[in-house]
Amino acid sequence: MPTYKQARRKRPRLRTARPRHLRPVTVEENLLVGAASRKAPSKVPDRIYELFHVLKEMKSRRDGDLSGGQQQQLTIGRALMSKPQLLILDEPTEGIQPSIIQDIGRTLRQLVDEMGMTVFLVEQYYDFARELAYRYWVMSHGEIVAGGEGADMEAHGVRELIAV
């Protein structure tokens, strides 16, 4: 089945950091790919650029020229273009500088608090996860070994459970 038909299906889709099947495109074109499952907008909504200011500044640059943190913001922005109810993120802080981690954390908090979005976060960086979690689960060797309210993570010794 052609890619464009797959993109229009009403199924959950995996958003990866670097779509390997795409030729080098601008940041703006990359964001527009995220809306392929919906009636394709002719421009990126202002809300995406409000959440990720750096993407607006770099919208004409090639996506491959972005830093790791900027690429992570682009990935999240592209996923938001499909207007999901659930955003699943797998270690969005990995290899990212601390200032960008804070920016991503603020954006995720906005998505949850202001837009009512559910964010399912898989993360090893304890402080980041603690700041965002309403609920948490800790897995070890494929089994859940702890869980509870996000506010109780410190009291339940979660930091020690996830220490590498």
- CATH fold of 3-132: Rossmann fold (3.40.50)
Residue 36 is predicted with a pLDDT of: 79
pLDDT at 162: 85
Which of the residues in the chain have pLDDT under 50?
Answer: 3-4, 10, 12, 14, 18
Distance CA 130, CA 64 (A): 31
pLDDT at 22: 53
β-partners of residue 143 are 140
pLDDT on residue 101? 94
The predicted pLDDT at position 110 comes to 94
Q: Which residues pair with 137 in a beta bridge?
A: 147
**Domain spans, the chain:** 3-132
Query: Residues 111-149: pLDDT tens digits?
Result: 999 999 999 999 989 999 999 999 999 999 999 999 999
Is the distance from CB of 81 to CB of 35 less than 8 angstroms? yes
Q: CA 99, 28, 19: angle at the middle one, nearest 5?
A: 80
Q: Which residue type occupies 105?
A: G
pLDDT score for 8: 55
